[in-house]
Amino acid sequence: MPGVLGLGLVVERMTMRRAVRPLEAPRIEVGREANVTLVDLDAEWVVGEDGYESRSQNCCFGGQSLRGRVLLTIAAGSVAYRQRAFALTAA
């Protein structure tokens, strides 16, 4: 589909800064601070339908339907973002 980037390309482009400035690859292991993002790739939602997290009430994507949604982000071991409510189901 024209104008749509594949997930693989998005991940590659958003992580290639590591090649410019060498950073340690993130790992999940006991004793390390967590850096994890939980994403529901199948979620379909409308921007702004549940309000906005900030005090601003405008957004250039407002009213648009999107697919894929971040549910939770943990940075340096602390919750940096979480969707107001979500349920985990076993596959």
**Residue 70 included in any domain:** yes
- Is residue 59 within 8 A of residue 47, CB to CB? The reply is yes
pLDDT per residue as tens digits for the range 30-45: 888 888 889 999 999 8
**Residue 90 included in any domain:** no
Residue 67's H or E segment, with its range, is: strand 65-75
H helix intervals, the chain: 7-15, 17-20
**Residue 87 included in any domain:** no
pTM of the full predicted structure? 0.61
- Residues in the chain, overall count: 91
Domain that residue 33 falls in: 7-51+59-82
**Residue 34 included in any domain:** yes
Q: How many domains does the chain have?
A: 1
pLDDT per residue as tens digits for the range 5-59: 888 888 777 776 666 666 677 778 888 888 888 999 999 989 888 777 777 777 8
**Residue 33 included in any domain:** yes
